[in-house]
Structure 1
Amino acid sequence: MTKTPILQEIKDFLKRLSITIELDQRRVDGLPLERFSPEYSQMMWRDWRCHHRDFIDKKLLPTADAISPAVLNELTEIALACEPARIGDVMLGLFAEVASGSCSDGELESAEQFFARLIKQLRDAPVSNFRHVGSQTAIMQWLPIVDPLLISRDPECGYRQGVGRG
């Protein structure tokens, strides 16, 4: 299969996402305990980040080259036409399904399945007049660099410090 620009952009996005999740864990590990709510479960959120990274590193990245041209074409259209925050929200929901174990075995086992599901959910979204100039710019805005899983927004965490999307 010939590599298309969107495929490389998706792979770059996934690599960056995995790294930023790791960096976010290191950032949180460096925060003083007083910053956290008494209900905060360090192990639970560490596992949450780990499950996301495992899925990205062991399922999505190794299967990315097998994403069909049809899915890549639709993904390009969605990347250019949808608000990045909307795509990020849907993507976080899919990641949560995988990390929590709530999706069926084999349902989201590959990059093809993951992005096809993302497309299906976004295809039904209200049409927007939003239009990006390039897919690379759009893709890199899907999730924030700091706190990419938006964990700091969870009420039990209590360490939110102006990170993530507003």
Structure 2
Amino acid sequence: MTKPEISYCDIRDWLAGLAAAIELDQIRVDALPKERFPPQYDDGSWRLWRKEHLEFIARLLPTIDEIPPPTLKQIGRLAFKYESAVVNGILLGILADVASKDCAYEELTTAGLFLNELIRRVLLKGVPVAGDARDRITRWVPVTDPLGIAQDTECLYGVPSGCVN
């Protein structure tokens, strides 16, 4: 049986991968023809949304080495035990709260605090499953449309063809 171990490097790679997926998502959206977007689509709002997420991630990255070992251990257990889709929904909720300033933005100033909030929310709502922690953490956020913007009712431009999650 695989152990639920996640390293500081795994967290750094995961957050850097999330940032890269957000940047790639903007590039993909920029390449879509204008007719793919509904009239209510507000390009400026969604660019700002991605930018705010990227700024938040950039703020977390330098604090990864300060994550308390018990938090890292709990994230490993969480990645090992909880369904990726559930964690993804909760993660997107936290990111949306932070980007929209709906939560105490100043309270999630480090990677450790951010991960503790993720742990807290998943433990409240999640249903445990089995799996490999390192593999499961990479599934918490899809590569294509990582913030779920393409599925938002204001957008509905869909995932570009040829993309995978």
TM-score above 0.5, yes or no: yes
Amino acid at match of 2:121: Q
How far did 1:161 drift?
3.4
Matched residues, percent identical? 39
Number of residue pairs the alignment of both structures matches: 159
Q: Deviations over 1:85-127 (max 9, x none)?
A: 1111111111111100112242111111100011011112243
Q: Is the 8 A contact 1:147 1:164 kept in 2?
A: no
Deviates more, 1:104-113 or 1:80-89: 104-113
Structure 1 unaligned runs (5+)?
none
- Counterpart residue number, 1:55: 56
**Cα distance in structure 2, aligned partners of 1:126 and 1:28:** 32
**Cα distance in structure 2, aligned partners of 1:143 and 1:156:** 21
Q: CA RMSD of the aligned region, Å?
A: 1.7
Q: Is the 8 A contact 2:6 2:76 kept in 1?
A: no
SS in 1 for 2:109: coil
Q: Deviations over 1:33-80 (max 9, x none)?
A: 0000000000000000000011101x2111111000110111110000
**Cα distance in structure 1, aligned partners of 2:13 and 2:155:** 29
Amino acid at match of 1:55: F
Pair 1:40-2:41 in alignment: yes
| Misfit runs of 4+, over 2 Å | 125-128, 161-165
Q: Is the 8 A contact 2:15 2:61 kept in 1?
A: yes
- Counterpart residue number, 1:84: 84
Among 128, 152, 155, the alignment partner of 1:154 is 152
Pair 1:20-2:18 in alignment: no
**Cα distance in structure 2, aligned partners of 1:126 and 1:47:** 30
**Cα distance in structure 1, aligned partners of 2:151 and 2:164:** 8
Q: TM-score, normalised by structure 1?
A: 0.90
How far did 1:164 drift?
8.0
**Cα distance in structure 2, aligned partners of 1:158 and 1:127:** 30
**Cα distance in structure 2, aligned partners of 1:8 and 1:67:** 11
- Counterpart residue number, 1:100: 100
Q: TM-score, normalised by structure 2?
A: 0.90
Do the aligned partners of residues 34 and 114 (structure 1) sit closer, same or farther apart at CA in structure 2, a change above 3 Å counting?
same
Do the aligned partners of residues 103 and 29 (structure 1) sit closer, same or farther apart at CA in structure 2, a change above 3 Å counting?
same
- Counterpart residue number, 2:134: 136
How far did 1:137 drift?
0.4
**Cα distance in structure 2, aligned partners of 1:18 and 1:105:** 19
